[in-house]
Amino acid sequence: MIVLCLVPLTAYPAIYTYIDDNGISHFTNIIPHGKNFRVVISDRIKYVVSRVFNNTAYDGIIERAAQLHGIDPNLIKAVMKAESNFNPNAMSHKGAQGLMQLMPDTARLMKVDNPFDPDDNIRGGTKYLKYLDETFGGNLDLMLAAYNAGPGRVKEYNMNIPPYEETRTYVQRVKSYYHSFKKN
């Protein structure tokens, strides 16, 4: 049984859906370029159970995204740890998707086509961190609060961490992971 948990699961093809100009829903296994589509079933089902604990599996992608957007790779990794525990198939009950748990609107804003694709998700999540960095003048607490609760909530509370226990806990947890990754 344990051996089976360490073997990759069989990969399933991705299934996408979109609505055409006539209002008809379509499902396809081919990315519908030029259309507003959703991923129904991810092609990343091959996620390996042992990778949950492997925080180095995405280091190359993280490093490229960090250099592209000028964000500390340890911060990207800390957000990934807090958001998905490095599970590329993670999906929250609120609809956040992938390694960096991008909400569909955020993914679209950051031009992420497939939030379950590690390259696409990390690039988009890092781009979003850069946007938050610029929006909140490099204030790490406000950046993380905005990543969790949304930038509008941080602004609504006069540029302070919103008084939500989930958000306050999230900020502290990510900072703890961040400092831990910086030491290694």
Considering the domain boundaries, does residue 145 fall inside one? yes
Considering the domain boundaries, does residue 4 fall inside one? no
- How many separate domains does the chain show? 1
Considering the domain boundaries, does residue 134 fall inside one? yes
pLDDT tens-place string over residues 129-158:
999 999 999 999 999 999 999 999 999 999
Considering the domain boundaries, does residue 115 fall inside one? yes
Active site residues: 83
Owner of token pair 């699961």: 9
Give the range of the structural domain holding residue 139, as residue numbers without chain letter.
54-183
Q: What share of the chain is helix, strand, coil (3-state, %, to 5)?
A: 50, 10, 40
- CA dist., res. 16 & res. 27, Å (int): 6
Whether residue 11 has pLDDT greater than 60? no
Q: 146, 86 in Cβ contact below 8 A?
A: no
For the domain that residue 157 is a member of, what is the CATH number? 1.10.530.10
pLDDT tens-place string over residues 89-117:
999 888 999 999 999 999 999 999 999 99
DSSP alpha helix (H) spans, the chain: 2-6, 59-69, 73-84, 104-109, 118-135, 140-149, 151-156, 165-183
Residue 84: its pLDDT value, please? 94
Residue 37: its pLDDT value, please? 72
Considering the domain boundaries, does residue 33 fall inside one? no
